[in-house]
């Protein structure tokens, strides 16, 4: 009986059955086998690592590698020191490469049944690596757009700046500028071997670049001074202080934009309330010549501070809330500037000022004046024989 090709149900391949030499010309095509999904996937590698609470825990090696970007500065420094020992300049890519290698080392230790973390592997690596002397390295933080945007959002929240006011072009501009600014700084570390003691000496210069301060200055420069509704909340708070300083010194010639700018400068720390008060009290001296010497001698005091006795007298004798009295009050203005800004006439004494208040038309409406009038009328009636 002549042989023939028979399909093997297990292997799904055609096999020659029977006598004679297999006729390859008549062999049907083998049925391709599709491997079961996931059948070729390698099992995950694991490592031992230390969690936030200081406990040794199990973690997938691939997860640990992805955690490179979140390593604390102390960990980044340890990696950088190892690179410097091998005369490799620490950069983001070289640090990441070293991290991947020590994670792979920890995975091998895990597979071998040893409880070694990546940091144990690094210590072993550092111990077996000869130290190169005279190596100086500068570690620059990488301010990519994601990191830059994070700084921007955090600082904006701190000063109360609405980031929705920023365009994508604004954000790209900030990312480029913070990266450029940071490039002039960096953390510098120099390692040398003392020829006398043989000990390794490390000198570290910290990174002096302050990304938060840079972001804050950049945001303040973006403030729309012409629109009070778009001022950061900290500037709006400062705006009240600025207006009070100006009002208490009789400064009313500034435009809204100028006032808003003062608020921004106060909120951003460019000026403080004390220096602002001193500046405008000196300017007020020109408008209040009779108070000029006192203002110059007391730069921390406003015009209203110096006039507080007169304010108290007005409040008492005209029965006015003292909080509503400012330099526009006609009685206070007449007391401080009898002849306006000329400064030729002298200020009245407090006794004369109080007398003028008592005799003013507004005093007639007060409680004490009505009681005095009622008392006078009662006395007169009794004197005339009326039984009152």
Last residue of one domain, picked from the residues 184, 209, 234: 209
Same domain, 228 and 269: yes
Q: Can you give the residue range of the structural domain that contains 230?
A: 223-304
Residue 11 backbone phi and psi in degrees, to 5: -90, -10
DSSP structure string for 206-273: -----HHHHHHHHHHHT--TT-GGGS-HHHHHHHHHHHHHHHHTT-----HHHHHHHHHHHHHTSS-H
Contact 223, 215 (CB under 8 A): no
Mean pLDDT check: name the lowest of 175-189, 210-224, 351-365. Answer: 175-189
Residue with the two structure tokens 């306006």: 340
Write down the pLDDT at residue 311: 96
Last residue of one domain, picked from the residues 158, 177, 209: 209
DSSP reduced 3-state for 13 = strand
Q: How confident is the model at residue 135 (pLDDT cuts 50, 70, 90)?
A: very low
For residue 183, what are its two tokens? Answer: 């490039």
Write down the pLDDT at residue 307: 96
Q: How confident is the model at residue 220 (pLDDT cuts 50, 70, 90)?
A: confident
Same domain, 280 and 353: no
Other Cβ atoms less than 10 A from the Cβ of 150: the count is 14
Instruction: Answer whether residue 87 is part of any domain.
Output: no
Instruction: Answer whether residue 197 is part of any domain.
Output: yes
Q: Which residues contact 339 (CB under 8 A, 6 or more apart)?
A: 345
Last residue of one domain, picked from the residues 157, 177, 209: 209
Instruction: Answer whether residue 128 is part of any domain.
Output: no
Instruction: Answer whether residue 239 is part of any domain.
Output: yes
DSSP reduced 3-state for 190 = strand
Instruction: Indicate the angle between helix axes 168-182 and 211-221, nearest 10 degrees.
Output: 140
Same domain, 227 and 300: yes
Mean pLDDT check: name the lowest of 73-87, 287-301, 328-342, 356-370. Answer: 73-87
Contact 210, 143 (CB under 8 A): no
Mean pLDDT check: name the lowest of 216-230, 234-248, 369-383. Answer: 369-383
**For 350-357, what is the mean pLDDT?**
94
Same domain, 188 and 152: yes
Give the model confidence (pLDDT) of 293-323 as tens digits. 999 999 999 999 999 999 999 999 999 999 9
Instruction: Answer whether residue 82 is part of any domain.
Output: no
Same domain, 234 and 273: yes
Write down the pLDDT at residue 138: 45
| Strands (E) located in the chain | 4-8, 13-17, 46-50, 56-60, 135-139, 187-193, 200-205
Residue of 192, 51, 158, 49 lying closest to 109 (CA atoms):
49
Cα within 13 Å of Cα(336), Cβ side: 32
Same domain, 201 and 240: no
Write down the pLDDT at residue 210: 80
Sign of torsion, CA 19 24 26 27? positive
Same domain, 300 and 239: yes
Is pLDDT at 330 greater than 50 in this prediction?
A: yes
Write down the pLDDT at residue 48: 94
Give the model confidence (pLDDT) of 271-294 as tens digits. 999 999 999 999 999 999 999 999
Instruction: Answer whether residue 121 is part of any domain.
Output: no
Number of domains in the chain: 3
**pTM of the prediction?**
0.48
Instruction: Answer whether residue 299 is part of any domain.
Output: yes
**For 255-261, what is the mean pLDDT?**
90
Write down the pLDDT at residue 73: 75
Same domain, 230 and 272: yes
Q: What is the mean pLDDT of the chain?
A: 82
Q: Which of 15-19, 204-208, 269-273 has the highest mean pLDDT?
A: 269-273
Instruction: Answer whether residue 159 is part of any domain.
Output: yes
Instruction: Indicate the angle between helix axes 308-317 and 350-358, nearest 10 degrees.
Output: 30
Write down the pLDDT at residue 228: 72
Burial (CB count within 10 angstroms: exposed 0-12, middle 13-18, buried 19+), residue 333: middle
Instruction: Indicate the angle between helix axes 233-248 and 273-287, nearest 10 degrees.
Output: 30
Q: Which residues contact 238 (CB under 8 A, 6 or more apart)?
A: 263, 264, 266, 267
Contact 8, 15 (CB under 8 A): yes
């Amino acid at each position: 009986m002549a042989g023939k090709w028979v399909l093997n149900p297990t292997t799904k391949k055609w096999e020659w059955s029977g006598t004679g030499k297999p006729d390859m010309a008549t062999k049907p095509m083998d049925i391709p086998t599709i491997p079961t999904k996931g059948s070729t996937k390698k099992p995950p590698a694991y490592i031992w690592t230390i969690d936030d609470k200081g406990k040794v825990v199990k973690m997938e090696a691939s997860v640990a590698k992805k955690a490179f970007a979140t390593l604390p500065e102390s960990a980044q420094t340890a990696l950088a020191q190892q690179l410097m020992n091998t005369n490799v300049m620490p950069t983001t890519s070289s640090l990441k490469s070293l991290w991947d290698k020590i994670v792979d080392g920890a995975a091998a230790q895990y597979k071998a049944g040893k409880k070694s973390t990546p940091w144990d592997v690094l210590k072993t690596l550092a111990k077996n690596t000869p130290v190169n002397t005279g190596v100086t390295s500068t570690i620059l933080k990488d301010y990519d757009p994601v990191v830059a945007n994070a700084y921007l959002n955090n600082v904006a929240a701190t000063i109360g700046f609405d980031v929705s006011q920023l365009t994508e072009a604004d954000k790209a501009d900030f990312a480029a500028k913070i990266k450029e600014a940071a490039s002039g700084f960096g953390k510098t570390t120099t390692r040398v071997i003392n020829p006398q003691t043989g000990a390794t000496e490390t000198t570290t210069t910290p990174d002096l670049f302050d990304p938060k301060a840079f972001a804050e200055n950049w945001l303040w420069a973006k403030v729309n001074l012409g629109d009070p509704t778009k001022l950061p909340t900290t500037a709006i708070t400062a705006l009240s202080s600025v207006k009070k300083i100006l009002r208490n010194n009789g400064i009313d010639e500034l435009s809204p934009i100028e006032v808003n700018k003062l608020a921004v400068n106060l909120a951003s720390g460019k000026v403080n309330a004390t220096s602002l008060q001193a500046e405008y009290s000196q300017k007020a001296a020109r408008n209040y010549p009779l108070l000029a010497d006192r203002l110059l001698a007391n730069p921390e005091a406003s015009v209203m501070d110096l006039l507080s006795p007169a304010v108290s007298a007005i409040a008492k004798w005209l029965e006015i809330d003292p909080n509503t009295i400012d330099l526009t009050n006609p009685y206070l203005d007449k007391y401080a500037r009898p002849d306006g800004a000329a400064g030729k006439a002298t200020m009245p004494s407090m006794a004369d000022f109080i007398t003028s208040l008592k005799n003013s038309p507004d005093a007639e409406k007060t409680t004490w004046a009505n009681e005095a009038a009622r008392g006078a009328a009662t006395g007169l009636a009794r004197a005339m024989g009326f039984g009152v």
